[in-house]
Amino acid sequence: MYSINCRGKIYDTSSPLIMGIINATPDSFYEGHLQKSNDDILRLAEKMIGDGADILDIGGQSSRPGSDFIPAEEEMNRVMPVIKIIRNAFPKIVISIDSFNSAVAAKAIESGADIVNDISGGNMDEAMILTVAKLKVPYICMHMKGTPQTMQQHAHYENMLTEILDYCIQRVSVCRAAGINDIIIDPGFGFSKTIDQNFLLLKSFKIFRALGVPVLAGLSRKSTIYKTLDVDVKDSLNGTTVLNTIALMNGANILRVHDVKEAKQAQLLYSKIYV
């Protein structure tokens, strides 16, 4: 059984969890989730929780290809009010902070977040690993080469699966050595990977079971789906559900999604057969 400890409450990930994405950014690649006000955010959070979300992932720094970084202070100004209003309105929901900045992560945990979700796996802020260890919270460690600005230039591998698995083994070791007890691996669909590489990664997703930690799949409405289907991102929900179902069948413990209701339905049907 893989489990994560969030402030003393144990979550069993053998029954996969659903993580809903809440973007506190003005430039998300998916316009359907751009929130304009605190009321909008609360309505979205309420809907996601009602639809079955186990975790809400709050991000203020865009990671879409070519996006520009914002200073930590501006990132904090975006995400801290969101975390606080959601925590006050929904005290029992698990909140994740999506940030590669250790100062933002620490402030978010202080403001009510429970998990740190870092797209850089600690490689863009050398203080992140030790910060998370001190905070004693779960850590989502993602695979990416380069940065969001340069990652599409780094989709070159001698053996992609071996390199990603080796990276994950090394990061789990670093996290454990620092004192992080609850580690979640995200192989990083769409980050420094081509469309064909993303499909190979999904096909081979079971290899990450060897890590002995929960594994997250973040496929929601990504270009691998809408470019392959030749549709607009707003029409990529059906494709997202198909790939989320394949991810579940191949061992995903957490699905990170824009559309919680549909992901939860896929998870419930999957669980009737496989859990």
Q: Evaluate if residue 129 carries a pLDDT over 90.
A: yes
State the pLDDT confidence band at 65, using cuts at 50, 70 and 90: low
Residue-wise pLDDT for 149-191, tens only, equals 777 777 899 999 999 999 999 999 999 999 999 999 999 999 9
Does residue 4 contact residue 241 with C-beta atoms inside 8 Å?
no
User: Percent of the chain beyond pLDDT 70?
Assistant: 94
- The beta strands (E) that lie in the chain are given as 3-6, 9-12, 17-23, 55-59, 94-98, 115-118, 139-142, 183-186, 216-217, 254-257
Find tokens 């977040």 and name the residue: 113
**Helix-strand-coil split of the chain, %, nearest 5:** 45, 15, 35
* CB hemisphere CA count around 121 (13 angstroms): 22
List active site positions. 222, 256
Mean pLDDT, all residues of the chain: 93
| pLDDT greater than 80 at residue 28 | no
Say what the pLDDT of residue 125 is: 96
Confidence of residue 38 (pLDDT cuts 50, 70, 90): confident
Type of residue at 53: A
Q: What average pLDDT does range 229-234 have in this prediction? A: 97
- Residue 259 confidence (pLDDT) above 80: yes
pTM of the model: 0.94
For position 154, what pLDDT does the model report? 78
102 close to 128: Cβ distance less than 8 angstroms = yes
pLDDT confidence of residue 25: 80
How do residues 41-63 score in pLDDT, each as one tens digit? 999 999 999 999 999 999 998 77
Alpha carbon distance 101, 99 (integer Å) = 5
Q: Is the Cα torsion angle 205, 246, 224, 190 positive or negative in sign?
A: negative
